[in-house]
Amino acid sequence: MKVVVRAPSNIAFIKYWGKKNEKLRIPANSSISMNLSDAYTETSVEFKKILSDDLVIIDGKKIDGKEKERIGRHLNLIRKMARINFFAEVLSKNNFPKGAGIASSASGFAALTLAGVKAAGLNLSEKELSVLARLGSGSACRSIPDGFVEWKKGSKSSDSYAYSLKSPEYWDIRDIIVVVGEKSKKVGSTEGHKEATSSPFYKARISEMDKKIADIKLALKNKDFTKFGRIVEEEAINMHTVMMTSKPPLFYWLPKTLEIMQSITTWREAGLETYFTIDAGPNIHVICRSKDVRKVKTKLEKIQGVKKIIINRVSKGARIVK
């Protein structure tokens, strides 16, 4: 049976950077995110008797080497659970540039997990799907449930999973992705996570995480956009400080990244309330209220060097489409 799934990428407001258990992808801290309506992966999976190896095609390109091995290991987990030994045909398409700091591994592994599980004839709960997606890529566990999501760090594999804090309809805020670089990054997230502990600021970061999570959950509960935005911005700068002070240092920003960060601060001072966050890449995510989207878009379009603008509402999690 062939199953097609669409899974959203997600943007973390409180971020995952550093693992307690590398192999099981158990994070050092819990994280909070929102699923993105217009940055997603669509993946079909079919286990076929005639195949002599897994066949993986992403964005029209046959995948080999390490990337394919990682996908094969994930399919092995599913095959083991379902007690099947057929290889799979995996066809996957992203509607955004891969490897540029928009989490393609999050939407990719969330889609692969749900499509693979269904194609193998398994019936798993949302929690079990989230745990399984996490084993493929940590942030993928947050693309399984709907809307605003918390990934509880947990203490063992079975209790490190994401669940929905609020539905997509709860709060009409937007995440505008401003693409300033489309090339794949030199150091991938999995490598980056390993370096986090080498920053002298890592321990300080982790010690504040429980409070940050509690604070942002309260801001979300109260729909306090100002408090929410301030926490989001401080958190992004905090994570990038750890990245930049790791050994070797990781600089994900481009000059344009900083230019847009500064513009956002200026707009805010002039009364247009927007905040930024940045993942492991150069692109900026502008967080704003729905009523301000047009204004923000017009301003962004005037900035030279902006390659693409993607406006996201809060989205549902991974869904079967066929």
- 39-47, 172-180, 188-196, 206-214 -> range binding ligand 2P0 (CB under 6 A): 188-196
Query: Both tokens of residue 104?
Result: 């393609």
In the complex, what is the shortest distance from the CB of residue 70 to ligand 2P0, in angstroms, rounded to a whole number? 9
Query: Both tokens of residue 225?
Result: 């956009």
Distance, in Å, from the CA atom of 320 to the CA atom of 322, rounded to the nearest integer, reads: 6
Q: Is 231 helix (H, G, I), strand (E, B) or coil?
A: helix
- 72-80, 123-131, 169-177, 185-193 -> range binding ligand 2P0 (CB under 6 A): 185-193
In the complex, what is the shortest distance from the CB of residue 212 to ligand 2P0, in angstroms, rounded to a whole number? 13
Question: Using an 8 Å Cβ cutoff, are 112 and 74 in contact?
Answer: yes
Interface with ligand 2P0 (CB under 6 A), residue from 8, 18, 116, 138? 138
Query: Both tokens of residue 156?
Result: 């063992």
Nearer to ligand 2P0, 175 or 279 (CB): 279
Nearer to ligand 2P0, 19 or 118 (CB): 19
Of 18, 15, 31, 32, whose CA–CA distance to 278 is shortest? Answer: 15
Distance, in Å, from the CA atom of 317 to the CA atom of 305, rounded to the nearest integer, reads: 32
Q: Which residues inside 190-209 make contact with ligand 2P0, applying CB under 6 A?
A: 190, 193
Any contact of residue 16 with ligand 2P0 (CB under 6 A)?
Answer: yes
Question: Using an 8 Å Cβ cutoff, are 180 and 56 in contact?
Answer: no
Interface with ligand 2P0 (CB under 6 A), residue from 177, 280, 287, 314? 280
What backbone torsions phi and psi does residue 116 show, to the nearest 5 degrees? -65, -45
What mask, x for binding ligand 2P0 by CB under 6 A, covers residues 93 to 132? ----------x-x---------------------------
Any contact of residue 31 with ligand 2P0 (CB under 6 A)?
Answer: yes
End-to-end CA distance of the chain: 11
Question: Using an 8 Å Cβ cutoff, are 174 and 290 in contact?
Answer: yes
**Residue of minimal CB distance from ligand 2P0?**
138
Interface with ligand 2P0 (CB under 6 A), residue from 3, 4, 5, 12? 12
> Tell me, what amino acid is at 58?
I
In the complex, what is the shortest distance from the CB of residue 298 to ligand 2P0, in angstroms, rounded to a whole number? 28
Distance, in Å, from the CA atom of 110 to the CA atom of 41, rounded to the nearest integer, reads: 9
Nearer to ligand 2P0, 15 or 79 (CB): 15
Distance, in Å, from the CA atom of 147 to the CA atom of 290, rounded to the nearest integer, reads: 16
In the complex, what is the shortest distance from the CB of residue 136 to ligand 2P0, in angstroms, rounded to a whole number? 7
Helix (H) / strand (E) containing 144: none
Query: Both tokens of residue 67?
Result: 């990337």
- 136-144, 154-162, 255-263, 298-306 -> range binding ligand 2P0 (CB under 6 A): 136-144
In the complex, what is the shortest distance from the CB of residue 1 to ligand 2P0, in angstroms, rounded to a whole number? 28
Any contact of residue 25 with ligand 2P0 (CB under 6 A)?
Answer: yes
Task: State the DSSP string of 240-276.
Answer: HHHHHTSSS------HHHHHHHHHHHHHHHTT---EE
- 13-21, 39-47, 176-184, 289-297 -> range binding ligand 2P0 (CB under 6 A): 13-21
Query: Both tokens of residue 166?
Result: 């609020």
| Contacting residues toward ligand 2P0, per CB under 6 A | 12, 15-17, 25, 31, 103, 105, 137-139, 189-190, 193, 279-280
